[in-house]
Amino acid sequence: MGIGEILEKDNLERSELITLLNSEGEDKKLLFSRASDIKLAELGNKVYFRGLVEFSNICGKDCYYCGIRKSNKKTHRYNVTDDQILEAARFAHENNYGSFVMQAGELESPAFTNRIEHLLKEIKKLSSGKLGITLSLGEQSRETYKRWFEAGAHRYLLRIESSTPELYHRYHPEDSLHDFQKRLDCLYTLQDLGYQTGTGVMIGLPFQHTAHLADDLLFMQKMDVDMVGMGPYIEHQDTPLFQFRDQLMPIQERFELALKMIATLRILMKDINIAAATALQAIDPLGREKAVKVGANIIIPNITPGKYRNDYALYENKPCVDEEPEECKSCLDVRIQLADGEIGYGQWGDSKHFYRRTEKTINYEN
Ligand code: SAM
Ligand code: SF4
């Protein structure tokens, strides 16, 4: 079956997903153009902002790919103060970002749970409930997720990293802290508690083939997720996975494959939110705008206070590490216009899919 016929189908099979992910030249252009049309028809041209604060690189885990893993003794550890986090939230609110994301290394402790719960309540207070809040704080107990939900978080992003258990085990130590089933159960718990639930994978990892990525897309469809954040894997020299760098595809190919994953996912799940990952920008300065052109509808500007940005080094050449939030905002405005998008200022930009899935009424203006 030719690519034209595949793109007209309502439901895509694994082999067809693989064909799309392997597409080149004119076929790739057709894929991108179909994904762009679907996004415009389903969601319009609005792009929503989530102001991101990477508030700590202290992590209890040891994922083999990540520069801030616990065993990397070269990382300078930091923890942004509560006041600085609230300041960043105020910045997001005052600049009409609509939503705020708190991300960090993974810690599981009563003190950490209390801290986040307190911050959530304060952010709701300072924004009179107007700032939408997404969390990306890894695996936690049901009780913790529940407390954070009740304190005001309404979206949660937990990447499955790879939905193939055998691959997952190659990227993580074999212990109870890095258990595939536990991560999966967390995703189900988040959905069950009422969060808009997001997942994602890294693209272009060693040992990963297009067929694995097709399975990742089918996993997202089967899980019926509301949001996806996925981007290229970028190696970091102080991590165990770095030893396999010779097996990686060239970085530009990883970038193109990530765009094809976004476009294919948009065709598969027409009404979900898809984020343009920062890692895309690390490879190509216009990476996020290119992602918006082929199906993404969420941009996550980094508003972490400047002096900490260098230390949240998950991978090499992280972009915008020297910028202050004000500079980021003006630069993004221009860029989104380049990609024919319009920024949905002051709106939460919730996942349409979530409302269809749960039959709730969409809340466009907060
Ligand atoms: N600690 C939480 C967790 O792991 O879910 C949230 C923060 S973690 C840094 C966020 C994401 O960064 C991970 O889900 C992973 O996909 C991504 N990441 C880590 N190392 C990376 C790398 N070398 N290249 C690209 N993405 C990476
Ligand atoms: Fe920690 Fe997340 Fe990095 Fe894993 S990916 S080491 S959990 S910060």
Tell which atom from ligand 1 comes closest to the C-alpha of 139: 5
Are 53 and 123 spatial neighbours (Cβ–Cβ below 8 Å)?
no
For ligand 2, is residue 241 a contact (CB within 6 Å)? no
Tell which atom from ligand 2 comes closest to the C-alpha of 59: 1
What counts of helices (H) and strands (E) characterise the chain? 15, 10
Lookup result for tokens 């770095």: 242
* Beta-carbon contacts of residue 187 (< 8 Å; ≥ 6 apart): 158, 160, 197, 199, 223, 225
Tell which atom from ligand 2 comes closest to the C-alpha of 138: 7
Task: Specify burial of residue 132 (Cβ count, 10 A radius: 0-12, 13-18, 19+).
Answer: buried
Question: Using CA atoms, how far apart are residues 6 and 8, in angstroms rounded to an integer?
Answer: 5
Residue type, 199: T
Question: Using CA atoms, how far apart are residues 218 and 215, in angstroms rounded to an integer?
Answer: 5
For ligand 2, is residue 61 a contact (CB within 6 Å)? yes
What pTM did the predictor assign? 0.95
What number of CA atoms fall less than 13 Å from residue 164's CA on the CB side? 17
CA of 360 to the centre of ligand 1 (A): 31
Per-residue pLDDT of the chain (366 residues; tens, 9 = 90+): 889 999 999 899 999 999 999 999 999 999 999 999 999 999 999 999 899 999 999 999 999 999 999 999 999 999 999 999 999 999 999 988 899 999 999 999 999 999 999 999 999 999 999 999 999 999 999 999 999 999 999 999 999 999 999 999 999 999 999 999 999 999 999 999 999 999 999 999 999 999 999 999 999 999 999 999 999 999 999 999 999 999 999 999 999 999 999 999 999 999 999 999 989 999 998 899 999 999 999 999 888 887 788 788 888 777 766 666 666 665 666 566 656 778 888 788 888 999 888 876 555 444
Q: Report the pocket of ligand 1 as residue ranges, CB < 6 Å.
A: 65-66, 103, 105-106, 136, 138, 158-159, 161, 202, 233-234, 236, 279, 314-315
